[in-house]
Amino acid sequence: MSFITLGYADVALAAILLIANAVLSLALGLGLARPLLIAAVRMVVQLLLIGLVLKALFALASPLWTGVAVAVMMLVASREIMARQQRRLRGAWGFGLGAASMMSAGLIVTVLALTTAIRPDPWYDPRYALPLLGMVLGNTMNGVSLALFTMFNAASRERTAIEARLALGEERGEALAGPRQEALRAGLTPIINSMSVSGVVALPGMMTGQILAGVDPVEAVKYQLLIMFLIAGGTGFGVLAAVFGGLRRLTDERHRLRLDRLMGLKEKPRA
């Protein structure tokens, strides 16, 4: 089976659907037309640039430049986690907690897959390492950001109840059990939903791409199963690390609730 190439005119034709959505947003007064179009333009520019960058990285196959690309991906993803928080930790913790949770989970899972299941030569081959890391990081980033968003908001919302339970002698783990469970569910629900409908409602992206490229469907399924297990593992580890790390930061050694360590979106961080 030959691979069907696309021209830019074919892609532009599909973009008409997005423009139609922007027109509908204007007609209905949703205020989403501008953000939608800006996001689309950003996506086009970013994907075209990354296509050129990946082409160069694949040709070099250098561990140094592959490491640089990995560092850039992680820094951007970490910044996105922080930017999505309605309330976040003050100071370096606001960036560091989500970054450390996502980076550690993403790296562990990706290196494990590269050295055991996929085994490219060399193991850091950017043709395998970067797409794999990108899929794991993207989903782990979403899980971590949802978990932290939910936990910080839940702790703020239930402040009175949490402080009452602490005053009655409960330890911080018991008093914050509600926000903890709510945050874990929020962070893990997207990947659970994704796995539940894979193959029935939706054909996942990697599997679809391989099938369109002419790969045998059974082989494509095996790769997709590997990716989904890696994503689920990375998301789970990242969410757990972020939630338990955040709960430790929201309390102190005397088991007091420390919401003063949180800041809102419009509040300037303290020195």
Q: pLDDT tens, 15-30?
A: 999 999 999 999 999 8
Q: Rounded to whole angstroms, how far apart are CA atoms 231 and 192?
A: 11
pLDDT at 36: 93
Say yes or no to pLDDT of 268 above 50: no
Q: Rounded to whole angstroms, how far apart are CA atoms 68 and 201?
A: 37
| CA-based radius of gyration for the chain | 22
Beta partners for 88?
263
**Residues 6+ away with beta carbon under 8 Å from 71:** none
Distances from the Cα of 121 to the Cα of 112, 114, 118, 124, 126, angstroms:
15, 10, 10, 8, 10
3 state SS of 84: coil
If pLDDT is split at 50, 70 and 90, which confidence band does 103 have?
Answer: very high
Q: Mean of the pLDDT values across residues 56-77?
A: 92
**For residue 42, what is the enclosing H or E element?**
helix 33-60
pLDDT at 266: 45
Q: Give the percent of the chain with pLDDT over 70.
A: 96
Q: Mean of the pLDDT values across residues 103-132?
A: 93
Say yes or no to pLDDT of 166 above 70: yes
Which amino acid type is present at position 94? G
* Angle (deg, nearest 10), helices 159-167 and 126-157: 70
Q: Rounded to whole angstroms, how far apart are CA atoms 90 and 96?
A: 10
- Give strand ranges (E) for the chain: 87-89, 262-264
Q: Give the percent of the chain with pLDDT over 90.
A: 68
Q: Scan for tokens 């490229």, then name that residue.
A: 213
pTM of the model: 0.84
Q: Scan for tokens 């893990």, then name that residue.
A: 188
**Helices vs. strands in the chain: H and E counts, helices first:** 10, 2
Say yes or no to pLDDT of 44 above 90: yes
Mean pLDDT of the chain: 89
**Cα angle vertex 231, ends 229, 233, to 5°?**
65
If pLDDT is split at 50, 70 and 90, which confidence band does 106 have?
Answer: very high
3 state SS of 129: helix
Q: Rounded to whole angstroms, how far apart are CA atoms 135 and 204?
A: 12
Whether 243 and 235 have beta carbons less than 8 Å apart is answered as no
Residue 180 in tokens: 């903890």
Q: Rounded to whole angstroms, how far apart are CA atoms 110 and 254?
A: 38
If pLDDT is split at 50, 70 and 90, which confidence band does 267 have?
Answer: very low
* Backbone torsion region of residue 120, taken as left when φ is above 0, otherwise alpha when ψ lies between -120 and 50, otherwise beta: beta
Q: Any idea what DSSP says for residue 269?
A: P
Domain ranges in the chain? 1-60, 63-264
If pLDDT is split at 50, 70 and 90, which confidence band does 201 have?
Answer: confident
Q: Rounded to whole angstroms, how far apart are CA atoms 260 and 119?
A: 48
pLDDT at 102: 94
